A and B are shown apart, each in its own frame.
Chain A
Amino acid sequence: MPRKTREAKLEYVGLHEGRPALSSAAQRTSRWDPVSSMPDWRITREARALLTSRLKPIAEGISAIILAKLSQNPIRTRELVLCAFSDPKEDWKEVVFQVHVAASPEQANALWDEVGNAIDQWRNRLSEEDADLLCERFSVDVIW
């Protein structure tokens, strides 16, 4: 089980904590609570706003893949964070699974490869629509 430590301060441009939640009809009617559904992750308010019920199976699938790969790996996990990233110039919003690890660059990149390959294999079993959402709305960042 990944260990949770102090909260990270997200300072990348666009990894904002204070922007208003989106207000699409789909999000207003969303009844999925990602915080209780994915308890290993610290989920920022902005990421929670992006995680509609439509995205639930994809987010949970990515989470399961990352947790499985971490459980098979001796690397120590520092923190798991779901944050939102937006690029206003390109009107783009996505959810980023940040995996903070205590590891060398080589170990961290090997983990990133394992997670990426597993997601590629999983994507091939998804519907075309879900596969599109996976690639358009989600990213994974392994931080060493």
Chain B
Amino acid sequence: MPFNPLGFFHVARRLASESPGEAEYRTAVGRAYYCAFLVAREHLRPRLTGKQLRSHTEVIEALRRRDFGTGARLDTLHRLRLSADYQLVGGLGRLPNWGQAWQRADHLCSQILRKMVTIVP
């Protein structure tokens, strides 16, 4: 039975609501990104080569070719995830804290999942 990437989003929401703190919010942002990325990748799998399937940026590009707004949201979530995982200082742009960053990631992931069902691979 293949793993359902939606499980990552459930974990992210539980983590952010049950023990809110910077580490939890940053982790939740990353899990939300991987949920959205994996759902997009699997949806587009029939049209992607093996090399493309291994590349985050190739999946984002492929999604922008089919629905620019949804691909752009995944791109934004990708950048937020990189900040969450690698940027020890800052990394928030104009967002005031990681709680707000998580709220943004939650919205972005929800929007991407809602849109994916309408996108033809």
What residues of chain A have their CB less than 8 Å away from a CB belonging to chain B? 8-15, 85, 87, 90, 92, 94, 96, 100, 105, 109, 112-113, 115-117, 119-120, 123, 131, 134-136, 139-141, 143
Contacts and interface: CB of A to CB of B under 8 A. Distances in A.
Contacts, number: 83
A135 B65 contact: yes
A113 B93 contact: no
Given A12-B87, A94-B75, A116-B70, 16 more contacts: A8-B93, A9-B93, A12-B80, A15-B93, A90-B57, A100-B94, A112-B73, A113-B69, A119-B68, A123-B68, A135-B61, A135-B64, A135-B65, A135-B68, A139-B71, A140-B69
- What 4 A-B pairs come out closest when comparing CB atoms? A116-B69, A11-B90, A13-B82, A135-B64
B72 interface: yes
Interface residues of B, number: 28
A99 to B, nearest CB: 11
B55 A115 contact: no
A42 to B, nearest CB: 13
Contacts of A115: 69
B72 A92 contact: no
A112 B72 contact: yes
